[in-house]
Amino acid sequence: MGMKRRAISPVIATLLLIVIAVAAAVLTYIWLTGYMGTITPHQAPTQLQERVKIDAVQVSDNSVTIYVANIGDVDTSIVGAYVLTLNYTAVCRGSNNYDLPKGSTTQVPVQGTCNLKSGKTYIAKVTAKQGSEATYTFVAP
């Protein structure tokens, strides 16, 4: 009598194909994530490293000087300086370009005459070339 013999049943064959497909997908995923890790920059973008801080504001004869420190990781420059009221109306402004190497402090004069009222509170604001900003609240003498 002839007996039909099958090497592997269809269920086992299907399971083997699924296991092989999953293993191939896992290996591809591991390879791709390792590859992407090598082409991704390990350093933060430059604009995230730029940080400025206003240390002080000096007012004398309606002229304002803002003392700005670079506390970031890159050299930058101050491209804008402003004196604002508490509701953010500009009293005087300047379009400046003062170099500010990392770790240094510089004086940024606000150009023009600022008619500040004695005893009133104002906000000094500076903008660096890559967009970071700093503000400082002060009372006019």
Residues 8-37 have pLDDT tens digits of 688 888 999 999 999 999 999 888 887 766
Amino acid at 32: L
Task: Look at the block and give the residue holding tokens 């002229």.
Answer: 63
**pTM > 0.75:** no
Q: Mean pLDDT in the chain?
A: 84
- CA distances, 43 to each of 40, 75, 82 (Å): 9, 16, 32
Q: Is 2 exposed, middle or buried (0-12, 13-18, 19+ CB in 10 A)?
A: exposed
Residue ranges per structural domain of the chain:
9-40, 47-139
CATH superfamily, domain 47-139, is Immunoglobulins (2.60.40.10)
